[in-house]
Amino acid sequence: MYLVASDSLQDFLFILPPSLEAAGLPEVFPYPFHYEPHPVAKYAAGELVRELEKGLDLRHDFGLRNPEASGAIGKMFGVLVVRTSDGQLAYLRAFSGKIGGEYHQPGFVPPIFDLYGPDSFYPSGERALNDMNARIASLEARPEIAESRRRIRQLQKYFEDALAEQRTINRERKKVRKERRAAAAQLSEAERSLLEKELSRESVAGHFAVKDLKRRWKEKIKQAEEAHATILEEINALKAARKAKSANLQNRIFSEYRFLNARGEFRDLSQIFRETPLVTPPAGAGDCAAPKLLHFAYRHGLTPLGMAEFWWGKPPRNALRRHLNYYPACRGKCGPILGHMLEGLSVAPDPLQEPMAGNLEMDIVYEDDDLVVLNKPAGLLSVPGKQIDDSVLTRLRKRYPEASGPLLVHRLDMATSGLLLAAKRAEVHKELQKLFLKRTISKRYVARLSQDVRGDRGVIDLPLRQDYLERPRQMVCWDEGKVSRTVWEVLEREEKSVVVRLEPITGRTHQLRVHAAHPEGLNAPIYGDALYGTRADRLHLHAAEMSFLHPVTKVQMKFHYPAPFYDGKPG
């Protein structure tokens, strides 16, 4: 059902049942980069999902019916729950980027700026750049350019051959001079003096022959290169003009992406990203669902209440996206934009920056004069954060004020519980870190996965790197990723999940979480993984076992601390 409020709203605004309001609405707008969608936002998202499941005609498969088809890939969709000016509860729909090459789809809010719209300057600018590309390609294909390059390579080969020949002549003549000097012992002193002068003149002549040869050939090559550069002058001028035109066109595009905030203030992409480390907006900035939804709401006097974004369809190979899972807004592209757009709106604080771990107990499992083994509870940082000081390291420094060095030898994610190793002395810390570098410290984790897996054991090799646009997420990357290896084994199959033992051979950030969730890994996110799966009471990942050679006593140490979420043994 559509709300016909005005010509510009009638195809975009969907009314929600009044009963939802009676059940309660969000008190503040969610923190967009880490949140669980409010039930009313999930209801709105569910309505969109049902239409997609019925075959909403978007002229795109999203890789659901034919996953192997070229270009088959899913899409991020979003809904924004709003209050209309006349008090009704409704929602808007959006998708990120384009669908089937189109920015516009019926029932979805329009883009901030349509590159190919009827009044857009971009098509003519794109045609001009394409014409320049064609002209450059035509000039570069001229036969005289290839001949000029061939001539330079030929001269360089002639020079190398001539130089090698002259040096061979000089070596032979040097050998003869050496023989003549040896035979000069029978000559008089005057004759030897005359011979030495002759041989010296010959040696100098050989030296200058090499110098003259280099000078002559380098001059020939230089002339050929200058002739080649003259031929390329028109091409280089065209390339410089193309670069300037492309930059101007891009800057003009950035200026057209103008975003409203709750105060009614506009800022364009260039202004927003100029104050960030990126400086230049990344590709696709401004085309995600969240900015489009908020901008449309502000333009039409709608009050944003809640939001939900979900993935529909086949996941991309590098990024971890699962069909129908909810995801927060991306930090790289949307972070700076939403930072502006949410000004003037009451927004919930970042839950990751709230001091939630103040009452969590940190158990000391073992300690001696050299080191400490402890159990970190889920929710406690390993080291202080930007806004949260409470952490394992903070507590250790208070507990052992006389300790020297960095103390913590390694870290666990805030959401992960389990065994951590610390050193009381700097020299012990150094030796323990050497053990980590040599991979002689063994660590085993227990994890509950959100679904069953194929097989009972195996090894996962998926290279990882940071997802630069969505920190702190990591991603699988075969081009730039670092080698990452995990050994796994099923401990117990439960009714709707499976408990596994995970042993990281390497120690990359989020390695176990990504290797579990990725389709080419276990294809089963760890239960409660808000980054790579679905949020729950906690992340069901626990560092249960650790073994290493004590750096001072040389005794083999082995520790076990049971997972709070699993009663069985780690295997």
- For the stretch 360-388, pLDDT in tens is 889 999 999 999 999 999 989 999 887 78
Residue range 146-162, pLDDT digits in tens = 999 999 999 999 999 99
Block residue for tokens 């030898």: 409
- Confidence at residue 6, expressed as pLDDT on a 0 to 100 scale: 42
Q: Is the pLDDT of residue 188 over 80?
A: yes
The beta strand positions in 248-351, using DSSP E, are 258-260, 266-268, 303-312
User: What is the H or E stretch that residue 420 is in?
Assistant: strand 417-423
Residue range 54-71, pLDDT digits in tens = 877 677 778 777 766 666
- Confidence at residue 64, expressed as pLDDT on a 0 to 100 scale: 78
Strand 541-549 and strand 417-423: the pairing is parallel
Q: Is the pLDDT of residue 21 over 60?
A: yes
Residue range 272-302, pLDDT digits in tens = 999 888 899 998 899 999 999 999 999 999 9
Confidence band (pLDDT; 50, 70, 90) for 1?
very low
The pLDDT of 128-150, averaged and rounded, is 93
Q: Is the pLDDT of residue 7 over 80?
A: no
Q: At what angle do helices 189-256 and 143-183 cross, to 10 degrees?
A: 160
| Alpha-carbon distances of 154 from 140, 147, 158, 226, rounded to whole Å | 20, 10, 6, 15
- The angle at the Cα of 359, spanning 568 to 424, to the nearest 5 degrees, equals 80
Q: What is the C-alpha separation between 97 and 283, in angstroms, rounded?
A: 11
Tokens of 534: 């679905």
User: Contact 498/490 with Cβ under 8 angstroms?
Assistant: yes
Mean pLDDT over all residues of the chain?
90
Q: What is the C-alpha separation between 69 and 66, in angstroms, rounded?
A: 6
Reduce the DSSP state of residue 40 to 3 states and report it: helix
- In this prediction the pTM is 0.76
Confidence band (pLDDT; 50, 70, 90) for 354?
low
How many helices and strands in the chain, by DSSP H and E?
A: 11, 17
Q: What is the C-alpha separation between 255 and 251, in angstroms, rounded?
A: 6
Reduce the DSSP state of residue 324 to 3 states and report it: coil
- Confidence at residue 511, expressed as pLDDT on a 0 to 100 scale: 96
- Confidence at residue 4, expressed as pLDDT on a 0 to 100 scale: 35
Q: Which residue has the higher pLDDT, 316 or 296?
A: 296
Q: Is the pLDDT of residue 358 over 70?
A: no
DSSP 319: S
- Confidence at residue 60, expressed as pLDDT on a 0 to 100 scale: 75
Strand 474-476 and strand 266-268: the pairing is unpaired
- Confidence at residue 316, expressed as pLDDT on a 0 to 100 scale: 80
As a whole-number percent, the residues of the chain with pLDDT over 70 amount to 95
Please list, residue by residue across 511-540, b when 16 or more beta carbons sit within 10 angstroms of its beta carbon and e when fewer do: bbbbbbbbeebbebbbbbbbbbbbbbebbb
Confidence band (pLDDT; 50, 70, 90) for 400?
very high
Q: What is the C-alpha separation between 230 and 339, in angstroms, rounded?
A: 51
Q: Is the pLDDT of residue 48 over 90?
A: yes
User: Contact 91/44 with Cβ under 8 angstroms?
Assistant: yes
Please report the DSSP string for 71-138 in residue order. T---EEEEEEEEE-TTS-EEEEEEESS-BTTBS--TTSPPPSS-TTSTT-SHHHHHHHHHHHHHHHHH
Q: Is 279 left (phi over 0), alpha (psi -120 to 50) or beta?
A: left
Q: Is the pLDDT of residue 533 over 90?
A: no
Q: Is the pLDDT of residue 3 over 70?
A: no
In the chain, what is the straight-line distance between the N-terminal and C-terminal CA atoms, in Å?
56
Q: Is the pLDDT of residue 399 over 70?
A: yes
Which residues make beta-bridge pairs with 476?
464
- Confidence at residue 355, expressed as pLDDT on a 0 to 100 scale: 57
Confidence band (pLDDT; 50, 70, 90) for 448?
very high
Reduce the DSSP state of residue 546 to 3 states and report it: strand
User: Contact 104/115 with Cβ under 8 angstroms?
Assistant: no
- Confidence at residue 2, expressed as pLDDT on a 0 to 100 scale: 33
- Confidence at residue 263, expressed as pLDDT on a 0 to 100 scale: 95
Q: What is the C-alpha separation between 563 and 281, in angstroms, rounded?
A: 44
- Confidence at residue 184, expressed as pLDDT on a 0 to 100 scale: 85
Confidence band (pLDDT; 50, 70, 90) for 359?
low
Block residue for tokens 């294909």: 141
Q: Is the pLDDT of residue 202 over 70?
A: yes
The pLDDT of 96-119, averaged and rounded, is 90
Confidence band (pLDDT; 50, 70, 90) for 427?
very high
Which positions are catalytic? 413
